[in-house]
């Protein structure tokens, strides 16, 4: 159980360091290296050859070069890195939001792959895989000894290819053998439901499909609850590690009818790009009240959304301090050699504030108590804790981040309960509802 929970938190941290992406190529040519730089490169070449020739065991040349490149990039900040061809492909799969696979959400528990849930209408669900099943073998190979990433990679593959799973199920007297044929799995970036008179929407990541999934969620909620009965919406960005910048802009735009959403500023002071909401009479939720939930697992693109809606006084932000990742990574393709992920800009909220190393401060702080098995552990996650992070313009000794924990059962979720009570008028606070006339804008 503890391993499962730790994976949840690690996922939030790893996502925050990898998923805020802008595709493209460098804006300008690199400066020509000086003679001193070439001398340093000559030293590197000499050391490389000595390692190859004299190290106690023959090293792998490819690994040496990749590690040298990553060492250089890691010295810049925690989010710049080199991706080999396989890693670059994995990144493209994550941001695209669809892949060839089985359709199950999994974690690692007791050295086996545990099924959290099979996704509806996917090969796994149709083959009879159930929540709580343990996958012991994949195509006859024992899962014990594999990492979760290794096991997931084995289950992904070409569409229409079969895979055999050996499953251990509570109540079954012997292992169950299932053959599943892979298909295109479209990962839902937005999960939603209706809580009587409130529409709840949780964005899990910002992939190419996030905005479309959000619009579908809004349309469905409107059909299920008459406009005069709908009290408002909760937008849950907790444990959201980020993703594509353009999707963060589109999601923000859905709830705005005016104003700047975010600006990015690069190395050159003149390299400033601003993204604005499209002018319209009413936003996509007809101006209904909305509360945004954040915590220490809310990073990057999710902070862009929370920061824009907060500064423009469109929403009230409830929860705890967000992660504080305010940098933009450009993905620079290197052909068959993979891709370079390089920090090329910092982003700023409409008020001109940098989130880097600071995060989004909620309008109403609501702490979420930890369950007994996690009490006594420091679960705070924040950009300011990362070694070598870029110091933000508004970063202070307080730093960024907070606990990254959300209870699996909504009845234990104090932050969500507080948000719903505000929307229903069962609780009051000066920060709700916000006044759009008091929007905080960069002058």
Catalytic residue selected from 137, 288, 325, 353:
325
Phi, psi dihedral angles at 73 (to 5 degrees): -70, -35
**412 is a catalytic site residue:** no
Which H, E and C letters describe 47-96, residue by residue? HHHHHHHHCCCCCCHHHHHHHHHHHHHHCCCCCCEEECHHHHHHHHHHHH
Cβ atoms of residues 317 and 57 within 8 Å: no
**300 is a catalytic site residue:** yes
Q: Report the Cα 397 to chain-centroid distance in Å.
A: 25
CA distance 114 to 258: 46
Q: Which residues pair with 200 in a beta bridge?
A: 193, 234
Catalytic residue selected from 183, 311, 363, 394:
311
CA distance 325 to 399: 11
94-103 residues labelled b (16+ CB within 10 A) or e (exposed): bbebebbbbb
DSSP per-residue string spanning 238-296: TT---BBHHHHHHHHHHT-SSSEEEEEE-SSTT-EEEEEPPP-SS-TTTT--EEEEE-T
DSSP state of 5: H
Catalytic residue selected from 81, 250, 300, 400:
300
Supply the Cα-derived Rg of the chain in whole angstroms: 24
Q: Which residues pair with 206 in a beta bridge?
A: 243
**311 is a catalytic site residue:** yes
* CA within 13 Å, CB half, 260: 18
Secondary structure of residue 332 in the 3-state scheme: strand
The residues carrying an active-site annotation are 300, 311, 325
């Amino acid at each position: 159980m503890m391993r499962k929970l730790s994976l949840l938190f690690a996922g939030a941290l790893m996502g925050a360091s990898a998923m805020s992406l802008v595709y493209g190529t460098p804006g300008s040519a690199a400066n020509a290296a000086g003679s001193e730089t070439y001398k340093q490169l000559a030293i590197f070449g000499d050391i490389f050859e000595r390692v190859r020739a004299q190290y106690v065991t023959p090293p792998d040349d490819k690994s040496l070069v990749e590690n040298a490149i990553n060492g250089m990039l890691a010295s810049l900040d925690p989010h710049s890195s080199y991706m080999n061809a396989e890693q670059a492909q994995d990144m493209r799969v994550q941001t695209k939001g669809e892949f060839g696979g089985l359709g199950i959400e999994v974690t690692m528990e007791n050295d086996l792959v545990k099924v959290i849930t099979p996704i509806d209408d996917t090969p796994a669900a149709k083959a009879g895989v159930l929540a709580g099943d343990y996958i012991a073998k994949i195509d006859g190979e024992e899962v014990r000894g594999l990492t979760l990433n290794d096991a997931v990679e084995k289950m992904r593959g070409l569409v229409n290819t079969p895979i055999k799973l050996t499953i251990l199920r509570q109540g079954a007297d012997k292992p169950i053998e299932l053959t599943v044929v892979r298909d295109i799995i479209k990962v839902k970036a937005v999960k939603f439901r209706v809580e009587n008179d409130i529409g709840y929407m949780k964005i899990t990541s910002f992939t190419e499909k996030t905005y479309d999934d959000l619009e579908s969620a809004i349309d469905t909620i409107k059909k299920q609850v008459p406009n005069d009965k709908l009290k408002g919406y909760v937008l849950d960005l907790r444990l959201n590690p980020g993703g594509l910048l353009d999707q963060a802009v589109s999601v923000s735009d859905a709830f705005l009818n005016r104003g700047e959403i975010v600006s990015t500023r690069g190395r050159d002071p003149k390299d400033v790009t601003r993204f604005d909401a499209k002018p319209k009479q009413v936003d996509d939720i007809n101006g209904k009240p909305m509360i945004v939930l954040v915590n220490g697992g809310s990073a990057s693109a999710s902070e862009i959304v929370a920061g824009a809606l907060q500064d423009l006084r469109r929403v009230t932000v409830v929860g705890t301090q967000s992660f504080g990742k305010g940098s933009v990574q450009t993905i620079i393709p290197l052909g068959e050699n993979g891709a370079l992920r390089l920090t090329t800009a910092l982003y700023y909220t409409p008020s001109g504030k940098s989130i880097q190393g600071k995060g989004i401060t909620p309008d109403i702080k609501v702490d979420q108590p930890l369950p007994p098995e996690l009490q006594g552990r420091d679960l705070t996650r924040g950009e300011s804790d990362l070694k070598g992070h870029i110091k933000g313009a508004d970063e202070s000794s307080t730093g960024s981040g907070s606990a990254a924990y959300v209870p699996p059962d909504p009845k234990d979720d104090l932050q969500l309960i507080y948000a719903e009570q505000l929307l229903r008028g069962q609780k009051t606070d000066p920060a709700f509802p916000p006044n759009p006339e008091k929007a905080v804008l960069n002058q």
